[in-house]
Amino acid sequence: MATAPCLPSISSPTFRKPTTSIEPINPLSRLPTTLAPTNPFRNKFVSLSIARKSPRSPFRVRAVAAPAEGIAVFDEMVAGTQRKYYLLGGKGGVGKTSCAASLAVKFANNGHPTLVVSTDPAHSLSDSFAQDLTGGVLIRVEGPDYPLFALEINPEKAREEFRSASQTNGGTGVKDFMDGMGLGMLVEQLGELKLGELLDTPPPGLDEAIAISKVMQFLESPEYSMFTRIIFDTAPTGHTLRLLSLPDFLDASIGKILKLKQKISSATSAIKSVFGQEENKQQDAANKLERLRERMVKVRELFRDTDSTEFVIVTIPTVMAISESSRLRASLKKENVPVKRLIVNQILPPSASDCKFCTMKRKDQMRALDMIQNDPELSGLNLIQAPLVDVEIRGVPALKFMGDIIWK
């Protein structure tokens, strides 16, 4: 008779049916009226009460697969009320969302009003919290002691806004944009080349640009001022690196455009007449670009600020995942993004009665963990070993359980 894989169980009746429901929740039925998704920032959002709720029954498990190892130093992460940003990223399928969501719950239960943002086009925050968080608006997560809100950035909604903006006034949106740049006559002369149709198509990297715009909102908008911890559940590695490098790219691009504008503005009156723009309109466009460039500089400084920002790499104990994590760490170092911690997720715990499958699997995992110790990019990071469990981590009680294991 075949022997079933001997994964330790964390199952118990209290886990299967906790006293706090982890079924999907209709947010409209529980949200305060001033925080309805249709207008999440109306009225006095920043005055939202954050009084601690009465303690609930603890979430109990019969057995824990294995303790997290290494140095998590959650006391350091939770200390202070100054706003801090945490970005969790890595290879697809390693458990970034579960780790990000569990960290958000941990912060909220330790007195920090927290916001968790998914920049992954394939969102799974709703699945992780067992609550409908779709729609691209701020929604309160039910369960934690202090306010915890989640936001899934909606790229498709932003693409529609991009298309509608470019088609304003019967398709003149692109011309209006170029008019602001002082190039309206040029668009008319090139109309036969269908330049408008070209620009009406959302460009590559729009998802990352949208995420950047949200970061800028967090920096500047008073509606977000209550949050002392903001966590980003990022897309897989390639998207994340584009997100982190975009401020540099836009800063350089806008700088070149501004230099070009300056040259055009200082040209002869004959050249100015070709573009047919008044000086004040050209200056207004230049001022807007300069303000955008300044905001990009702020975002770039935020990503590189060792006091307020930390990137946490999440991986699993396989050779392929560790190799990609090493490349990610090297790229983050090149971008000067601070990294302190490496989470190795889904580690098989020790067992006194291993089956053949578990024995072989554990050997492979030990080989991958040895790679970390010998890798020049990863060996210096604080290592957190998170166990493989036999059920899905879904809902706030389960995320609290996971957070207590990982974030010590």
Active site (catalytic) residues:
120
Residue type, 136: G
Which residues lie below 8 Å from residue 47, measured CB to CB, with a gap of 6+? none
**Distance between CA atoms of residues 150 and 230, nearest Å:** 10
| Tokens 């968080």, residue located | 133
Q: Which two tokens stand for residue 98?
A: 């579960």
DSSP E strands in 351-403: the ranges are 382-387
Q: Residues 267-272: contacts with CB within 8 Å, 24+ apart?
A: none
What is the rounded end-to-end Cα distance, in angstroms, of the chain?
Answer: 41
The DSSP code sequence of 55-116 is PPPP---S--S---BS---HHHHH--SS-EEEEEE-STTSSHHHHHHHHHHHHHHTT--EEE
Q: How far apart are CA 247 and CA 305, in angstroms?
A: 14
Q: Which residues contact 329 (CB under 8 A, 6 or more apart)?
A: 313, 339, 377, 378, 381
Q: HSE (CB half, 13 Å, CA atoms) of 329?
A: 23
Given a contact cutoff of 8 angstroms between Cβ atoms, the answer to whether 139 and 27 are in contact is yes
Q: E strands along 291-370, which residues?
A: 309-315, 339-347
Phi, psi of 145 (to 5 degrees): -70, -40
**Burial (CB count <10 Å: 0-12, 13-18, 19+), residue 319:** exposed
